[in-house]
Amino acid sequence: MGRPRKFSREQLQDAALALVDARGLAGLSMRTLAAELGTGPMTIYNHVANRADLDVLVVEAVVARADWPQPRGVDWREDVQCIATAMWRAVRAHPHAIPLILTRRSRSPAALAVAEALLDALSRSGRSGQRLLVAFRAVSALVMGFAQAELAGPLAVEAGEAAEAVIRRIRALPRQRYRRLIEIAGAAARSNPEREFRAGLDLLLDGLA
């Protein structure tokens, strides 16, 4: 049945994620991953089908690192909060990988496990079928959307930019035209990402209750 493969899938995952964390997305290529593993570019093709698969490898590695306590099963709201927050934290723990997580499909057991856990907690709100589906989509969207907003939203901090630079940039806009945006720029500067995320999630959970 052939000799064992030179590298395990987990080894590839770890090496690919390490590269992205250290050098950014542009630092990951067939060639750099091969070099990292001390082999030639073509060897990677023994483990993935193509370049796109390399990105999926990174996504799986990040999602696999999401960890939440065993749901207590008392208050479904509390359990949804736990799982959603764990997912949000896992994504944010690897900022360079966020673009991939937002855009690459993964069907790893870890990805499915998060979905199932979330669905299970949400089902205890008394929902099933279409209504459970909508609740699941809404919570998932909120988690990914909050991670996305920090990366690319109008109030996002540019790479290497100071937080105050964002406020200055917003405040420099025409005052009449962007009144509200200028108004919240100050609040955005004083804000804490996790507190904001949890407050946003609470709004949705209020709607779900």
Partner DNA sequence: ACCTGAACACCGTTCAAGT
Contact 143, 88 (CB under 8 A): yes
Question: How many residues at the interface with a second copy, by CB under 8 A?
Answer: 64
Q: Which is nearer to a second copy, 43 or 123 (CB)?
A: 123
Site membership for a second copy, residue 163 (CB under 8 A): no
Q: How far is CA 55 from CA 27, 31, 45, 140, 196, in A?
A: 12, 14, 14, 21, 29
Distance CA 183, CA 192 (A): 17
Which one of the spans 1-9, 13-21, 42-50, 123-131 is the region binding a second copy (CB under 8 A)?
A: 123-131
Q: Which of 66, 65, 98 is nearest to 82 (CA)?
A: 66
Q: Which is nearer to a second copy, 75 or 202 (CB)?
A: 202
Give CA 7 to chain center in angstroms: 26
Sign for the pseudo-dihedral over CA of 167, 168, 169, 170: positive
Site membership for a second copy, residue 93 (CB under 8 A): no
Site membership for DNA, residue 148 (CB under 7 A): no
Site membership for DNA, residue 31 (CB under 7 A): yes
Binding track, positions 51-70, relative to DNA; x by CB under 7 A:
xx-x----------------
* Residues at the contact surface with DNA, assessed by CB under 7 A: 1-3, 5-7, 29-32, 39-43, 45-47, 50-52, 54
